[in-house]
Structure 1
Amino acid sequence: MIELTNLRKVYGKDHVAVDDLSLEIKPGQIIGFIGPNGAGKTTTIKMMTGILKPNNGTVTINGFDISQNPIEAKKAFGYVSDSPNSFLKLKGIEYLNFVADMYEIDKETRVQRIEQYTKALKIDTVLQQKIASYSHGMRQKIMVVGSLIHDPYLLILDEPLTGLDPQSAFTLKEIMRQRADQGKIVFFSTHVLEVAEKLCDEISIINHGKIVYNGTLNSLKDEYANLSLEEIFLEVTA
């Protein structure tokens, strides 16, 4: 169970990026976090992961408050940011082993998972190259593999499909679905409505730092009969 309770984040004196946001996320679901640019998606995710400290409110992951018990809370999730330009001086395999060491993953398990996911995402042949030499899409994929090394209960992805080729995007969506079917949680931000429609069990729409809709896409469509998905989104975020 993931609980975001009354989260608020203010930048500077008066720029409210996230305003009294609350969400409860149950196991076995893919949750699409949707909103226009500047709506507060990335700020919310950074508070979920402990990168940013909220001005008010709490984030609880499997009963652990990320502010009070950061290590235990962070053990439960894997995270891929919207900018995969990290650890550029490391080789791909060095980065993956670094992550595995951090989570104390034994040698046999890490080898199996690295092989499984790098082959699925077709980056197994470049692991001896430095991440700096990778394309944007390849960097995205190595970060995805790193987030899966410890088989997290919660997978947090910020615009994960950006820069991926169609085959890799399809593979990642399959991985996301498999994890939800195993009773885990996938929480990902996107502005691509068609992806949310095909993949998500529920969606949360954020606008101006507030949740303006939370539920299934079918229920939302029922509220706005005869409108296209794009028109519904524009109506909700008007």
Structure 2
Amino acid sequence: MIEIVGLTKVFSEKIIAVDNIDLKINEGKVVGFLGPNGAGKTTTLNMIVGLCKPTSGKIFINGIDVREEPEKVKKVIGFVPDEPLLFEKITGISYLNFICDIFEVPLEERRKRGGWLLQAFKLLDAIKDPISTYSHGMRQKLALISALIHKPKILILDEPIVGLDPESASILKQIMKRHASNGNLVFFTTHIMEIAEKICDEIAIIDKGKIVFQGTINELRQLKGDKSLEQLFLEVTKSENEEIDFSFLD
């Protein structure tokens, strides 16, 4: 479970990235974290995984305070940032073994689970090549495999679909659903409303650093009407208020 209480991140007097938010995300669910660019999604995820220090507030992972016991928390998290930051001068297999060593994944388990993931994401043929030769999509796949290989209870993914080919995107969505159905938790950001609508059990919408909705898509429709998630999102974030004149394109 992820529990966030009064979380705030201030970068300067004029920049409040996250503004006193509360969130509670239970196991067994895929939860989408939606919001416009600059709304505070990535900053929130970075604070959850310990990459960014909150200005105030508390974050608990399975009841453990992230700031008080960061190493204990990291052992149960698989994290993929919005940009796959990898060691480019080593091979893919060396990087995977490095990750497995950190999380103390047994040799037989890393071979079995790693082999399945590499085959599923079509990265087996390139795993012995230097990461510097990988395309963006291949790096994204390696980052995902690295997050999954130690069987974390909690997956935190920042725009995980970006850069993936359709087959790999489909596989990832199935993995996310299966991971949650096994009693685990998936919390991910996306700008693709169709993906959120298809795989999310719940969504949380953040706008200008504040949570403006958390619940199921059906609950949001009960509040705002029977519309597409894209229309609902635009209405909740008030993005539809600005009328744009497209006549110059004619």
In structure 2, what residue type is equivalent to 1:56?
A: S
Q: Are 1:29 and 2:35 counterparts?
A: no
1:80-99 counterparts in 2 under 5 A?
80-99=80-99
TM superposition shift of 1:103: 0.6
1 CA distance for matches of 2:146 and 2:71? 18
**CA distance in 2 between partners of 1:67 and 1:46 (Å):** 13
The reply on whether 1:43 has 2:43 as its aligned counterpart is: yes
**Aligned residue identity for 2:140:** Q
SS in 2 for 1:233: helix
CA distance in structure 2 between the aligned counterparts of 1:78 and 1:49, rounded to whole angstroms: 9
> 2:190: which partner in 1?
190
- What is the DSSP-based 3-state SS (H/G/I as helix, E as strand, rest coil) of the residue aligned with 1:128? coil
Q: Match of 2:151, as an amino acid?
A: D
Report the equivalent of 2:109: 109
Q: How far apart, CA to CA, are the structure 1 residues paired with 2:84 and 2:188?
A: 15
Q: Compare 217-226 and 58-67 and name the one that shifted more.
A: 217-226
Q: 1:103, 1:231 → 2: CA distance?
A: 42
Contact 2:217–2:229, Cα closer than 8 Å, also in 1: no
Letter in 2 for 1:108: E
- Rg (Cα) greater in structure: 2
Tell me the alpha carbon deviations over residues 102-146 of structure 1, each in whole angstroms, 9 at most, x when there is no partner.
011110011111101110111011010011111111100000000
Equivalent position of 2:146 in the other structure: 146
Give 1:54-73 correspondences, 5 Å limit.
Answer: 54-73=54-73
Q: Which amino acid aligns with 1:67?
A: R
Q: Distance in 1 between matches of 2:90 and 2:148?
A: 18
**TM-score, with structure 2 as normaliser:** 0.93
Answer whether contact 2:120 2:171 (CA < 8 A) is retained: yes
Partner SS state of residue 187, structure 1: strand
2-structure distance, mates of 1:195, 1:182: 20
Aligned partner letter, 1:73: V
Q: Which amino acid aligns with 2:233?
A: F
Count of residues in Structure 1 that have an aligned counterpart in Structure 2: 238
Distance of 1:225 and 1:27 partners within structure 2: 28
- Once residues 93 and 180 of structure 1 are traced to their aligned partners in structure 2, the CA distance between those partners, rounded to angstroms, is 27
Work out the CA distance in 2 between the residues paired with 1:100 and 1:158. 21
Normalising by structure 1, we get a TM-score of: 0.98
Q: Which residue of 2 aligns with 1:125?
A: 125
Q: Distance in 1 between matches of 2:26 and 2:126?
A: 37
CA separation in 1, counterparts of 2:230 and 2:102? Answer: 42
Q: Any idea what the Cα deviations from partners look like across 1:166-205, whole Å, max 9, x if unmatched?
A: 0000000010011001000000001111100000000000
Give me the CA root mean square deviation. Answer: 0.9
1:65-99 CA-partner distances (Å, limit 9, x unpaired):
11000010111100000001321112100000000
Cα displacement (A) at 1:58: 1.0
**Closer, same or farther: CA 226–216 of 1 in aligned 2, 3 Å:** closer
| SS of structure 2 residue aligned to 1:30 | strand
C-alpha distance in 2 between matches for 1:13 and 1:76 = 35
Q: Output the CA distance in 2 between the equivalents of 1:194 and 1:108.
A: 38
d(CA) in 1 for partners of 2:226, 2:103: 49
Deviates more, 1:38-47 or 1:9-18: 9-18
Q: Offset of 1:226 from its aligned partner?
A: 4.3
Equivalents in 1 of 2:109, 2:234: separation in Å? Answer: 46
User: What one-letter code is carried by the residue in structure 2 that aligns with 1:189?
Assistant: T
